A and B are shown apart, each in its own frame.
Chain A
């Protein structure tokens, strides 16, 4: 196959978009890990709940789409806090493995809850949109077609990440979050309510996952309770790739993973059927070569 530049540009943009969505979820993984040393496997499922909230907000309650998304973000933020309070807080001082198993339990619980409450079938996300052709409109420059949705998603992702960085690095609560990730006991001695800050972290990261979910559904407008499984897994890999615990790393890891995945199958179309395997190969390689991840700090664990 001759590789023409149009295809290259289209797929590069596509990879950037998917990578941006991975990054949004990966940020959640990494923030929670940074603070609690807990891998919250439920983020993929929180993402799906975000899609359901937006979908039902727009179809059932008939909110306008932006309002439905806002409601969905608020709802998932609340869900994040509830998950933390019910599932993880009682285990703060237990061995880390207990919390990890609980995270898997939470993931199964949310999936099953969605199956029972929303039904096991694929739902058409187009129902929630006023503009039903948004998923396949494109900008045409000469004979190059660039899907509009990709630019919308890239723009929103950039804005969301910018706001996140401002919160984490420019506000008091962000400073508290960073302090907690360095040392929990000392932080609480400084008069910071650790549980509230952790709750806030869960709220932010859940809302980001939901935002990623809604945009995922804009690009792939059919979803069901298990839709979050693969993106959740990829985002986890992205977080490890970039260096788990580092927010910048999660963003870089997410975007790189998305672009690499898309570029490999663009350049070697015969490998298409192994697409999902590349993420895992990258994970293995990074663990072997640079276990702390691209931007992670190597820490020595003292026993």
Chain B
């Protein structure tokens, strides 16, 4: 009897002092697991610095998407239905975020995507937001950079046809670039997980490309860059934020030296006190500089907690309304304002691989790209 009493007591305590559960949907294994790992590091640091909200403890529930769409949807359903989380941070890849978003929408649980930049992630959805800019901006920035700074006239784009992010970014780039130099862009295709790119590279070389652009993710970019150099390609490499993981350099080595890419954040560009403090505390905890995903994961967590505080409630719908009305929230990756479509409006950062390190080149404000 006594034992049952103890059980009953813990049960009551658990209900009264229930924690606030936040789901974290990340690719912790598979093709883009480096993004997942970095994001996790950022979120863990954020939770360490701010473990409670509304006087209750925040509990993070992790769900691995294995870098796949179907698994992303399954994991999301697990978070909302079984774990009953009040909000979800994630995913990274646009395709995976979109698969999960259907469920977020259906269950009315707010989802905050970290670096999913395809416009379709939030389009027409009420419960999906993100802490990053979107691809029309990124594609335009890349096109301007290629045309003006690199003086590119012939561009071959490597499109990962399995990723909505890649297909979308490619189209936005072409839209802008073809506006200046018509017929000077060529697309070649591959699939996530491919390792052999020599046929595509031959095409790029035969086209006389002075720029090869990769719109996929770091692993394939690193391999393709090596093969391109071994086949005598001498021009520039550029890429979108899918390249932004330190693993790019680890896998690609000297072949990715000089590659330019657009992204959301680079520790060097930290100006505000908050941003500098983040870099310091990240270095203290992990012994390395934060990668882009760490900063955005950190921001996503802090933004959700801020929203819960403003909503003064654990009700997912109220939290969602608070997330959607975020104005000038000070994140470590810059000021975040969520617009009526759930997208953040932020500058595009351009980074170059130099001496085996990511080096800040410049930032482009959204207004400059109109």
Interface positions of A (Cβ within 8 A of B): 1-2, 4, 7, 10-11, 14, 18, 115, 120-122, 124, 126-127, 132-133, 135-138, 140, 143-145, 147-149, 220-222, 230, 262, 265-266, 269, 272-273, 275
**Which residues of B are found within 8 Å of A121, using beta-carbon distances?**
29, 33-34, 37
B206 and A262 contact, CB distance less than 8 A: no
B232 and A272 contact, CB distance less than 8 A: no
Residue in chain B with minimal CB distance to A140? B232
- In the complex where A126-B250, A143-B232, A273-B190 touch, is A136 in contact with B255 (Cβ < 8 A)? yes
Residue-wise, chain B 230-263 has the 8 Å CB interface mask toward A (1 for contact) of 1110000000000000010011011100000000
Does B196 sit at the interface, judged by CB under 8 A?
yes
Does B120 sit at the interface, judged by CB under 8 A?
no
Does B103 sit at the interface, judged by CB under 8 A?
no
Does B70 sit at the interface, judged by CB under 8 A?
no
- Give me 11 A-to-B residue pairs in the complex whose CB atoms sit less than 8 angstroms apart, sorted by A's number: A1-B203, A115-B29, A122-B219, A132-B253, A132-B254, A138-B231, A144-B232, A147-B231, A220-B223, A230-B193, A269-B203
B254 and A265 contact, CB distance less than 8 A: no
**Which residues of B are found within 8 Å of A18, using beta-carbon distances?**
196
Interface positions of B (Cβ within 8 A of A): 28-31, 33-34, 37, 161, 188-191, 193-196, 198-200, 202-203, 205-207, 219, 222-223, 226-227, 229-232, 247, 250-251, 253-255
A124 and B231 contact, CB distance less than 8 A: no
Residue in chain A with minimal CB distance to B205? A7
Bound-state CA distance A115–B227 (Å) is 28
Bound-state CA distance A143–B253 (Å) is 24
**Which residues of B are found within 8 Å of A262, using beta-carbon distances?**
196, 198-199
B199 and A266 contact, CB distance less than 8 A: yes
**Which residues of A are found within 8 Å of B189, using beta-carbon distances?**
272-273
**Which residues of A are found within 8 Å of B193, using beta-carbon distances?**
230
A1 and B206 contact, CB distance less than 8 A: yes
A138 and B206 contact, CB distance less than 8 A: no
**Which residues of A are found within 8 Å of B191, using beta-carbon distances?**
273
**Which residues of B are found within 8 Å of A144, using beta-carbon distances?**
232
Residue in chain B with minimal CB distance to A267? B199
A122 and B247 contact, CB distance less than 8 A: yes
Of the residues B29, B202, B205, contact of A266 by C-beta under 8 Å: B202
Bound-state CA distance A221–B161 (Å) is 22
New A-B contacts (19) at CB < 8 Å, excluding given A124-B247, A136-B255, A262-B196: A2-B206, A18-B196, A124-B250, A126-B253, A132-B253, A133-B255, A135-B255, A145-B231, A145-B232, A147-B230, A220-B195, A221-B226, A221-B251, A222-B219, A266-B199, A266-B202, A269-B203, A272-B189, A272-B199
Of the residues A148, A220, A269, contact of B199 by C-beta under 8 Å: A269
**Which residues of B are found within 8 Å of A222, using beta-carbon distances?**
219, 222-223, 251
Q: Report whether over half of chain B's contact residues are helix, strand or loop; otherwise say mixed.
A: helix
Enumerate the 10 nearest inter-chain pairs by beta-carbon distance, A residue then B residue, closest first: A145-B232, A120-B29, A147-B230, A136-B230, A124-B250, A136-B229, A220-B195, A7-B202, A265-B199, A222-B251
Residue in chain A with minimal CB distance to B36? A121
A138 and B232 contact, CB distance less than 8 A: yes
Residue in chain A with minimal CB distance to B233? A145
B251 and A10 contact, CB distance less than 8 A: no
A272 and B206 contact, CB distance less than 8 A: no
Of the residues B28, B188, B200, B226, contact of A135 by C-beta under 8 Å: B226
Bound-state CA distance A216–B91 (Å) is 31
**Which residues of B are found within 8 Å of A126, using beta-carbon distances?**
250-251, 253
Bound-state CA distance A266–B202 (Å) is 8
Residue in chain A with minimal CB distance to B30? A120
**Which residues of A are found within 8 Å of B250, using beta-carbon distances?**
124, 126-127
Bound-state CA distance A122–B29 (Å) is 9
**Which residues of A are found within 8 Å of B207, using beta-carbon distances?**
1
A13 to chain B, nearest CB (A): 9
**Which residues of A are found within 8 Å of B219, using beta-carbon distances?**
122, 222
A217 to chain B, nearest CB (A): 10
Bound-state CA distance A3–B195 (Å) is 23
- In the complex where A115-B29, A221-B251 touch, is A135 in contact with B206 (Cβ < 8 A)? no
Residue in chain B with minimal CB distance to A270? B189
Bound-state CA distance A21–B77 (Å) is 42
Bound-state CA distance A148–B195 (Å) is 18
**Which residues of A are found within 8 Å of B29, using beta-carbon distances?**
115, 120-121
Bound-state CA distance A126–B252 (Å) is 8
Bound-state CA distance A10–B198 (Å) is 8
Bound-state CA distance A140–B250 (Å) is 26
Of the residues A120, A135, A273, contact of B161 by C-beta under 8 Å: A273
A272 and B200 contact, CB distance less than 8 A: yes
- In the complex where A124-B250, A136-B226 touch, is A14 in contact with B198 (Cβ < 8 A)? yes
**Which residues of B are found within 8 Å of A11, using beta-carbon distances?**
198-199, 202
**Which residues of A are found within 8 Å of B198, using beta-carbon distances?**
10-11, 14, 262
**Which residues of A are found within 8 Å of B195, using beta-carbon distances?**
220
Residue in chain B with minimal CB distance to A3? B206
Bound-state CA distance A28–B211 (Å) is 43
**Which residues of A are found within 8 Å of B161, using beta-carbon distances?**
273
- In the complex where A122-B219, A143-B232, A149-B230 touch, is A133 in contact with B253 (Cβ < 8 A)? yes
Bound-state CA distance A124–B194 (Å) is 16
B314 to chain A, nearest CB (A): 33
Bound-state CA distance A122–B33 (Å) is 8
**Which residues of B are found within 8 Å of A220, using beta-carbon distances?**
195-196, 223
Bound-state CA distance A10–B202 (Å) is 8
Most buried by B among A2, A143, A149, A222: A222
Most buried by A among B37, B219, B250, B251: B251
Of the residues A133, A143, A145, A147, contact of B254 by C-beta under 8 Å: A133
Most buried by A among B189, B199, B203: B199
Residue in chain A with minimal CB distance to B206? A1
**Which residues of B are found within 8 Å of A273, using beta-carbon distances?**
161, 189-191
Bound-state CA distance A220–B232 (Å) is 17
Bound-state CA distance A262–B190 (Å) is 14
Residue in chain A with minimal CB distance to B66? A120
**Which residues of B are found within 8 Å of A138, using beta-carbon distances?**
230-232
B304 to chain A, nearest CB (A): 27
